Structure 1
Amino acid sequence: MNQEQHALISEMTTKKKPSIGIIGAGMAGLSAAAQLHKLNYTNVTIYEASERIGGRIYYVENGDKLIHHGAQFVDGTETPMYKLASSLGISMERFDHEEKNIVSGRYKFSKDDELALTKFSEVVKERLSEGWNEIDENTTSFENILEEVFQNFIKMDPQRKSLYSGFKSVIRSDYENEWSAKADQLALVNFHKWSDHTKDGEEYLMSGEGYKVIVEEMLGRFPNKWIILNSRVENVDYSQSKVALKLANDDILRYHDVVIVTVSLGHLKRYHKSLFSPQLPLEKIEAIEKLGFGDTMKLILIYDDQFWKPEDYRTFILHVDGYNEGLSGDDFSKELNILQGYPYWTDKMLYFWLSGDGPRKAGLMSNEELSKCVTNLLRIMFQNDSIKEPTTILRKQWNLDELFLGSYSCTTKEAAVLGNPQEKLASPIVHNGQLKVLFAGEATHETIYQTVSGAYLSGEREANRIHRIWG
């Protein structure tokens, strides 16, 4: 008999609707609240530490446009976010990962080079999808596969070593952005475990307002008076008959029968020791500490004039050693590999995807320094000295925000050997036979972690867990 069944037996004689606390008003918290309201629970409070709703859905106004610093894509057609966006009439365009433009500065990129790099990319994908019988997916990283392919290619085609080296960096950045994980930490198990149950990992870019419309729709599913902003929970004490919440901004304890914790894995990593009393079970601590929580940042550049072709909305910046002397000694420029446009937003905006060490390095630079560095890179790579500096640079340092401390989760090699770390993270805390603390958030979903849909499904899951006991 598991802990939840023990809790069910303990609570069967008490059918009074519980008092429920939800920590965090990101998508997991909103989804849990919406499902609880649907199931006729009324005594619910959502504690949101910041002054806004949405969590890693974060948009700001820039003129008559919205800039999305966080989530902006929806996954495949079977996911709840795709279905919700469709029902709300939000325009979406399928994002084609294969469609790209390549710029390489003074290196004259030939048709044969393009064919060679296409083959390189295809072999990487083949190794990721077909290598399970030959390698241990739990202890092998993406970097191991990438390096293996690179070594094989330069052995067969040594005159293109510098080209393959540059392309290896681009592919590494592309996958690190996609998975929000450093390549040497990304276990291969991610590539077959993660699934949105649609073909080829489809992604769709939503039109301008996108997730703003979705968040507003979610807020319409339950009474907004449930939400208390600027209320950071510093401690969750589940040792007594009621769960006591200590807030940072006052000394009055809030008591609930059960609490759903939806804070980011990054926040749990830093604060789990002080956040919970008593300490969490060792199995859960191990999952928290060994799961990966990487960092991704959009370095958004706004221009008065467009210098790029409108159709080139995804550009790979290919650094080939020995051909772009103006970048020698510029450590940060090597992090700038993936450049993207916003076809739905404006023809005056580009952004670089930063991953790996990129966000940390960007955090050490002023906007003025970034502007000069980026402009120098673009002039060299596009071979266009007339490119002007951007009029505006926008960025969000997720790794420095105390409430997130990164972007989203992945399975590391260390976590993979635990068996099912997401399940361990999601397991509820039962104390003295009573269900006390539940966990939701993208990092707790077993197959579609990293996504808004995963967060949504996890919040719904925990609301239903409460209902199985108190319903």
Structure 2
Amino acid sequence: MSQTTKVTSYKTPISRDARIGIIGAGPAGISMAHFLRKEGYSNITLLESSSHIAGKSSTFTHENRNYDVGALMIGHNYTNIRSLAEEFNCPMEKFNGSSLDFDSNKFITENVDQIGILTKPFLENMTHYLEERKAFEDISLPGHGDLSENMLYAPITQYLKDRKMEYLLDAWNLAYTSAGYGYVQDDIPAAYFLKFIQNSENTI
């Protein structure tokens, strides 16, 4: 009978011989397996139900054309991802700031460096936002900056409503979805949306 290691705390040491199972071969699962192996763990099983790895950050081919789905851009403060890209010799392309006019099917080169949209409500509430922003300014750090569980798991619409920050939805929901992270109206955890805003602000 195989032995199962029960972890009662994230500070509990795990034997290097322990059997470790990871569910999901998305970015989180793959990186977890990678870093565990670097720490000396070798008995790792990575489970994935679909036919491909990478989860929401995969690439599929249709009619000889590659399509990237999921997260597409990273900012200069994504140091962990940049380190992994260098480690695996994965080239990175610089975002060229082009936009496509779907009506004419022509590329239009514009200054689209401003990822967020400075809507009128956002500008009118800028002072309020800068004050509230202090609560999640460390969200980009490993471990989400030790945020409370309420902030990590609270639905984004309720979180913003409680803090009278609904103006962020109109300012950032299009950019969030366009970057490949899903739909805000699906009530994603607040931490995902707030981290995207923080990283985007550090990019523009």
User: Shorter-chain TM-score: which interval?
Assistant: 0.5 to 0.7
Indicate the residue corresponding to 2:34 in structure 1: 34
Q: Report the 3-state secondary structure (helix = DSSP H, G, I; strand = E; otherwise coil) of the residue aligned with 2:22.
A: strand
Change (3 A) 1:52 1:43: same
Q: Deviations over 1:310-345 (max 9, x none)?
A: xxxxxxxxxxxxxxxxxxxxxxxxxxxxxxxxxxxx
Change (3 A) 1:100 1:121: farther
User: Structure 1 pair 49/127, CA: closer, same or farther in 2 (3 Å)?
Assistant: farther
What is the alpha-carbon distance in structure 2 between the residues aligned to residue 189 and residue 65 of structure 1?
30
1:181 aligns with 2:184: yes
- Kept in 2, the 8 Å contact 1:129–1:192? The answer is no
1:4 maps to which residue?
9
Alignment partner of 1:139 out of 162, 171, 174: 162
Distance 1:54 1:70, change over 3 A: same
Q: Quick check: 1:121 aligned with 2:118?
A: yes
Deviations 1:432-461 (A, max 9, x none): xxxxxxxxxxxxxxxxxxxxxxxxxxxxxx
Aligned partner of 2:185: which letter?
K
Alignment of 1:23-422 (within 5 A): 23-85=23-85, 88=89, 90-94=91-95, 96=97, 121=118, 123-127=120-124, 129-132=126-129, 133=131, 139-140=162-163, 144-145=166-167, 174-175=174-175, 177=177, 180-182=183-185, 190-191=193-194, 195-196=198-199, 200-202=201-203
CA contact 2:16–2:40 (8 Å) conserved in 1: no
CA distance, structure 2, for counterparts of residue 44 and residue 188 of structure 1: 29
Q: Which residue does the alignment assign to 2:135?
A: none
How many residues matched? Answer: 153
User: Secondary structure of 2:56's partner?
Assistant: coil
Whole-angstrom distance in 2 between the partners of 1:77 and 1:83: 11
Letter paired with 2:48: E
Q: 1:36 to 1:63 in 2, by over 3 A?
A: same
Rounded to whole Å, the distance in 1 between the matches of 2:174 and 2:62 is: 27
d(CA) in 1 for partners of 2:58, 2:192: 30
Change (3 A) 1:190 1:130: farther
Q: 3-state DSSP class of the match of 1:71?
A: coil
CA separation in 1, counterparts of 2:192 and 2:164?
Answer: 9
Alignment CA distance shift 1:46-1:181 (3 Å)? same
| Gap change, CA 1:145 and 1:188, over 3 Å in 2 | farther
Mapped partners of 2:18, 2:79: distance in 1: 30
Q: Percent identity?
A: 19
Q: What displacement does 1:23 show?
A: 0.8
Q: Point out which structure has higher relative CO (alpha carbons under 8 A, 6+ apart).
A: 1
Question: Structure 1 residues 65 and 24, CA, compared in 2 at 3 Å: closer, same or farther?
Answer: same
Name the CA shift for 1:62/1:30 in 2 (closer, same or farther; >3 Å): same
Report deviation, 1:34: 1.0
User: Hey, what's the Cα distance between the residues in 1 that align with 2:173 and 2:64?
Assistant: 31
- Greater strand percent: which structure? 1
Change (3 A) 1:141 1:201: farther
Which of 1 and 2 has greater Rg? 1
**Structure 2: 5+ residue runs without aligned partners?**
1-7, 104-116, 133-158
- The alignment partner of 1:121 has SS state of coil
8 Å CA contact 2:61–2:67 kept in 1: the answer is: yes
Aligned to 1:278: none
Question: Residues 123 and 103 of structure 1: is their aligned pair in 2 closer, same or farther, counting only changes over 3 Å?
Answer: farther
**CA separation of 1:84 and 1:16: change in aligned 2, threshold 3 A:** closer
Separation (CA, whole Å) in 1 of partners of 2:38 and 2:49: 25
**TM-score in terms of structure 1 length:** 0.26
Structure 2 residue matching 1:73: 3-state secondary structure: coil
Shift of 1:182: 2.5
Conserved? CA contact 2:75–2:202, under 8 Å: yes
Preserved CA contact (<8 Å) 1:75 1:82: no
Read off the aligned partner of 2:51 and give its amino acid letter. E
Q: Is the 8 A contact 1:25 1:54 kept in 2?
A: yes
Indicate how the Cα distance of structure 1 residues 188 and 100 shifts in structure 2: closer, same or farther if over 3 A, else same.
farther
**Partner amino acid, structure 2, of 1:25:** A
Distance 1:83 1:172, change over 3 A: closer
Q: Mark the CA change 1:100 to 1:65 in structure 2 (over 3 Å): closer, same or farther.
A: closer
Cα deviation, 1:264-314, whole Å, max 9, x if unaligned, reads xxxxxxxxxxxxxxxxxxxxxxxxxxxxxxxxxxxxxxxxxxxxxxxxxxx
C-alpha distance in 1 between matches for 2:33 and 2:186: 36
Unaligned runs of 5+ in 1: 105-119, 148-167, 204-471
| Kept after mapping to 2: 8 A contact 1:94/1:202 | no
RMSD: 4.5
1:200 shift after superposition: 2.7
Distance 1:186 1:81 in 2: 22
Offset at residue 31 of structure 1 (A): 0.9
Q: Structure 1 residues 17, 57: CA separation in 2 closer, same or farther (over 3 Å shift)? A: same
